Amino acid sequence: MTEITQEILNGAFPEDFLWGGATAANQIEGAWDEDGRGPAISDYAPLWDHEAREGLDIHSMPPLNGVSRQSLQDRMEHPERYDFPKRRGIDFYHTYEQDLELMAEMGFKVFRMSISWSRIFPNGDDPEPNEAGLAFYDRVFDKCRELGIEPMVTLSHFDMPLHLGMEYDGFMSRHTVDAFATYCETVFKRYKGKVKYWMTFNEINHVYANLCTCNGVIWDEPEGGGNPYAGRWNDKFQAAHNMLVASAKACILCHQIDPDAVIGNMLCRLENYAESSKPEDQLQVLFEDHFNWFFTDVQAFGEYPYYIKRFFRDYGVDIKMEPDDLETLKEGTIDYVSISYYMTYIMRYKGKESPEPSGSLLTQIKNPHLEMTEWGWPIDPVGLRITLNHIYDRYHLPIFISENGSGIAIEPDENGRVHDDAHIEYMKGHVEQMHQAILDGVDVFGYAWWGPIDLVSSGTSEMYKRYGQIHVDLDDYGRGSGKRTRAKSFHYYKKLIGSRGRDLENNVPDDFEI
């Protein structure tokens, strides 16, 4: 628990606060078929060209990461029809030293990243790991240590070896649970003493929505077409159960192999507001929160929460469990809670006593009190303070903000400078409210901006949507020099970290160094 000192009362963050940034292997590494790496489902995520979205209502767009077996098979058989940006990323596999040095220049204390499972076990379940893949992460972690940066490593960040998805339907199968445990044991032993902070699954609560890359489930397309992920609550929660067991097994292994390490979950926190003071709208917030809390409730408390039983009963969910699953969940609880926070949502009653969750990453009802990004995401810094209080009140565990950021369409000016003041204003507002949450008594121990370097978008596989304090000269199709330059927000974040969060003024000169 953070002691509220006079310095903190005067605006500073704790001296040991972990400032940094967050990325994912499948969005930055590239080198998808080098040094023994096997194919992953994310390698077949095509570019959703931003030009093709002109005039579309962002709220009506189809799920971008959902994929049926038929469409995946087509991508595998006819790769010439598609562009697959995640295969090239931003070439971090070859540029990691330069990229980490730029992050260290900003003053980073932590770098949240992920390991590509396919780089360690090319098929996911190979009898022996790929030494070249293990050696790559040795080099990355060693470089982090050299620069004074703590690596914080996600074991599975929307990344599944293709073989496990195609042959076993990913986490629908207990075979994948066992393969994941072997993978975890391998990396915990290999990187003992190099990695102190681990996370299990990125945004695990997306398993009930449409993101197939988080659980590897590849289902047949319905007759006549349509979304293979619609409904199917029994299948979704079976995959969810298996992932929760896999997460618990990872926690147990981590604690056994490296008692000095800590391991957390990762939740996409969807803070919900009722549209009105009508009791029914308030009830809808409760229903939505149940699904937002469900995964972390299991991971933090080690048991299924009371409220899920009615949903299972009403929607015919009957999970198949192994005899020791409940004991595993009880033993394999997390040490801290990690969240991504981007926006808040408006809820309106759906007219059922036990309605199904929306599973949407975009609110269907716009909040008239908030500005929106061009991707339709409400900007709500105060919501961050609210949600941090809600999380800490529920779990009384330390909290790490593992993703917070804003994607904008911006390119360098004629002098090569990226004037991304929108990033600065977004960060300023959220850091202010994060500090208020600490004053409230919430134990927040770190903050990672998503992403500190431009990367391939998770949902749309485009570069056009830019987050980085470090600009990368690549377009959606991989054209460009790949050169890294410092954006205006680079200098702002460096100043912010150097002042321990006290200097929030946007006073970076227009002729900043690139």
CA dihedral 149, 259, 303, 154 (to 10 degrees): 30
Ranges of H-type helices in 198-269: 233-257
Q: Which of 150, 271, 403, 462 is catalytic?
A: 403
Rounded to a whole number, what is the largest CA-CA distance in the chain?
65
- For the stretch 1-28, what's the b/e string if a residue is b when 16 or more beta carbons lie within 10 angstroms of its beta carbon? ebeeeeebeeebbbeebbbbbbbbbbbb
How far, in Å, are 56, 271, 420 from residue 427 at the CA level? 28, 18, 11
Residue with tokens 């321990």: 500
CA atoms of 483 and 478, how far apart (whole Å): 12
The rounded distance, in Å, linking the Cα atoms of 480 and 459 is 22
Closest CA to 18 of 108, 106, 97: 108
Please calculate the CA angle 19-21-22 and round it to the nearest 5 degrees: 135
Q: Given CA atoms 160, 161, 162, 166 in this order, what sign does their dihedral have?
A: negative
CA gyration radius, the chain: 22
**Is 203 designated active site?**
yes
**Rounded Cα gap, residues 189 and 258, in angstroms:** 8
Residue 467: CB partners within 8 Å, gap ≥ 6?
405, 406, 407, 408, 423, 449, 450, 451, 452, 454, 455
DSSP string, 75-127: HHH-GGG---GGGTTT-HHHHHHHHHHHHHHHT-SEEEEE--HHHHSTTSS-S
DSSP 316-356: T------TTHHHHHHH---SBEEEE---EEEE---S-SSPP
The Cα-based distances of 446 to 167, 268, 278, 337, 442 in angstroms read 39, 16, 37, 11, 12
Check if 280 is active-site: no
Marked catalytic residue, from 150, 203, 271, 462: 203
Burial (Cβ within 10 Å: 0-12, 13-18, ≥19) of residue 92? buried
Place of tokens 């930055």: 28
Q: CA 414 from chain center: how many Å? A: 34
> Do 176 and 168 touch, CB atoms closer than 8 A?
yes
Which residues belong to the active site?
203, 403
